């Protein structure tokens, strides 16, 4: 059953936006955790905040007025406040919270100092590969620079034999309070202590190797397993090979982004490869065979049939790159370029003269229809 969000704010169903806002402000002034530290007030504050968020959004209010519950829809679970900490609810709460421009949440949730040890971030690096390497995949070595645990202090940040001291500014609580104006009026807000970065501790004698950070930047070599068929922009994730966190916290992931080097013969389009084969007009007329060395290292013979027209594209099924997921190979598209000789020897000229005598008056002006078909074909194949 949908909750009565109107009742939570104590307003009528016909309430205007202004009335809803005013009701919320009034309740928030009584219930905000910085004003009223009791647990019941904190729970109540969450409820009214969510009710306000929903009713001040015309689309969500419409759903409520139709007897629905936007929270039930968003979370996919049962509506209502029974299970605090449920995804959709928390999300909405955080949103409203940030909107209101209030710093910390106050109450018990933020009273603990922040840990010095924080998880590390993800890191990104590039790996340049030739087309052949992309085709085959395999193990590659890569130099990366990331934060690693400081060996001298093992992440503690303190010089050997010393301990961190309690921060005198916040007396170890890790946060300081401040009066701030917000849409709810004057509020007492809580911020992380700037002197100790919210940890409540100050390292009095920092480790000389890491200046107290517990980690150092270091160059190292990692081995990357490259799947066959990778291409530019694809990312390979190495779990736990990213930056070690402050204080020696668990390392994030390392993402290796592939960049394929240009190839002298092939251009790539997804799993398909394109190449251009230049043949003479005689080969085009009589047909011929051309061998191409594929990225696999194998030779592939392209059979060019007699009567092949300029700008034809010959599909070589399954001769492209392997798909990185399925392993199924794409195609090789051979674009045929027919060269007309510009310099002819006497014998060649004679042979061609004879050919012309066999086929006199072959030059003619195309009808508009023939021309447009030809142009369209040509444009379709030229890349």
Binding site for Zn ion (CB under 5 A): 150, 152-153, 167, 169-170, 193, 195-196, 207, 209-210
d(CA 187, CA 28): 10
d(CA 149, CA 160): 15
Let me know the angle formed at the C-alpha of 370 by 365 and 371, rounded to the nearest 5 degrees: 70
Cβ 106 to Zn ion shortest distance, Å: 17
Nearer to Zn ion, 196 or 333 (CB): 196
The phi and psi torsions of 222 (rounded to 5 degrees) equal: -115, 155
Q: Where does residue 240 fall: left (phi above 0), alpha (psi -120 to 50 degrees), or beta otherwise?
A: left
d(CA 342, CA 227): 47
Query: CB burial class (10 A; 0-12, 13-18, 19+) of residue 267?
Result: middle
Cβ 217 to Zn ion shortest distance, Å: 12
Nearer to Zn ion, 55 or 207 (CB): 207
Nearer to Zn ion, 167 or 224 (CB): 167
Nearer to Zn ion, 169 or 255 (CB): 169
Cβ 190 to Zn ion shortest distance, Å: 13
Nearer to Zn ion, 169 or 381 (CB): 169
d(CA 261, CA 129): 6
Please state whether beta strands 313-316 and 332-339 pair in parallel, antiparallel, or not at all (unpaired): antiparallel
Let me know the angle formed at the C-alpha of 70 by 29 and 82, rounded to the nearest 5 degrees: 65
Cβ 294 to Zn ion shortest distance, Å: 52
Cβ 247 to Zn ion shortest distance, Å: 10
Cβ 150 to Zn ion shortest distance, Å: 3
Cβ 215 to Zn ion shortest distance, Å: 8
- DSSP-derived 3-state class of residue 227: coil
Tally of CB atoms within 10 A around 233: 9
Q: What is the 3-state secondary structure (H, E, C) of 265-324?
A: CCEEECCEEEEEEEEEHHHHHHCEEEEEECCCCCEEEEEECCCCCCCCEEEECCCCCECC
Strand order from edge to edge, sheet including 272-280: 267-269, 272-280, 332-339, 313-316
Nearer to Zn ion, 195 or 274 (CB): 195
Nearer to Zn ion, 30 or 178 (CB): 178
Cβ 75 to Zn ion shortest distance, Å: 37
Nearer to Zn ion, 201 or 316 (CB): 201
Nearer to Zn ion, 81 or 169 (CB): 169
Nearer to Zn ion, 198 or 295 (CB): 198
Non-local (6+) Cβ contacts of 348 within 8 A are 341
Q: Locate 340 and state its tokens.
A: 């007309």
Non-local (6+) Cβ contacts of 204 within 8 A are 158, 162, 164, 165
Cβ 203 to Zn ion shortest distance, Å: 10
Cβ 262 to Zn ion shortest distance, Å: 44
Contact between residue 333 and residue 313 where contact means Cβ atoms under 8 Å apart: yes
């Amino acid at each position: 059953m949908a909750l009565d969000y109107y009742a939570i704010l104590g307003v009528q169903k016909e309430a205007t936006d202004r009335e809803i806002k005013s009701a919320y402000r009034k309740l928030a002034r009584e219930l905000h955790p910085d004003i009223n530290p009791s647990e019941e007030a904190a729970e109540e504050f969450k409820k009214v905040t969510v009710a306000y968020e929903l009713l001040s959004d015309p689309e969500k209010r419409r759903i409520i007025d139709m007897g629905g519950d936007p929270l039930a829809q968003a979370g996919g679970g049962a509506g209502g406040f029974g299970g605090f900490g449920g995804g959709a609810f928390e999300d909405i709460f955080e949103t409203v919270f940030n909107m209101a421009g209030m710093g910390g949440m106050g109450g018990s949730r933020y009273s603990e100092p922040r840990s010095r040890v924080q998880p590390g971030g993800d890191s990104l690096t590039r790996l340049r590969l030739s087309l052949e390497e992309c085709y085959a995949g395999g193990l590659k070595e890569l130099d990366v620079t990331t934060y690693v645990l400081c060996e001298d202090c093992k992440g503690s940040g303190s010089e050997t034999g010393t301990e961190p001291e309690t921060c005198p500014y916040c007396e170890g609580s890790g946060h300081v309070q401040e009066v701030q104006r917000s849409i709810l009026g004057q509020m007492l807000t809580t911020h992380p202590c700037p002197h100790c970065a919210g940890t409540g501790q100050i390292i009095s004698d920092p480790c000389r190797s890491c200046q107290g950070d517990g980690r150092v930047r270091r160059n190292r070599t990692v081995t990357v397993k490259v799947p066959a068929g990778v291409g530019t922009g694809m990312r390979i994730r190495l779990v736990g090979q990213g930056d070690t966190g402050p204080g020696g916290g668990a390392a994030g992931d390392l993402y290796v982004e592939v960049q394929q080097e240009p190839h002298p013969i092939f251009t790539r389009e997804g799993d398909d490869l394109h190449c251009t084969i230049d043949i003479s007009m005689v080969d085009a007329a009589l047909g011929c065979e051309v061998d191409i060395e594929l990225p696999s290292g194998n030779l592939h013979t392209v059979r060019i049939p007699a009567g092949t027209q300029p700008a034809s594209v010959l599909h070589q099924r399954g001769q492209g790159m392997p798909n990185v997921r399925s392993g199924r190979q794409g195609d090789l598209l051979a674009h045929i370029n027919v060269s007309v000789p510009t310099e002819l020897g006497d014998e060649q000229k004679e042979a061609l003269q004879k050919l012309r005598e066999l086929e006199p008056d072959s030059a003619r002006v195309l009808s508009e229809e023939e021309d447009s078909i030809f142009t369209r074909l040509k444009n379709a194949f030229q890349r």
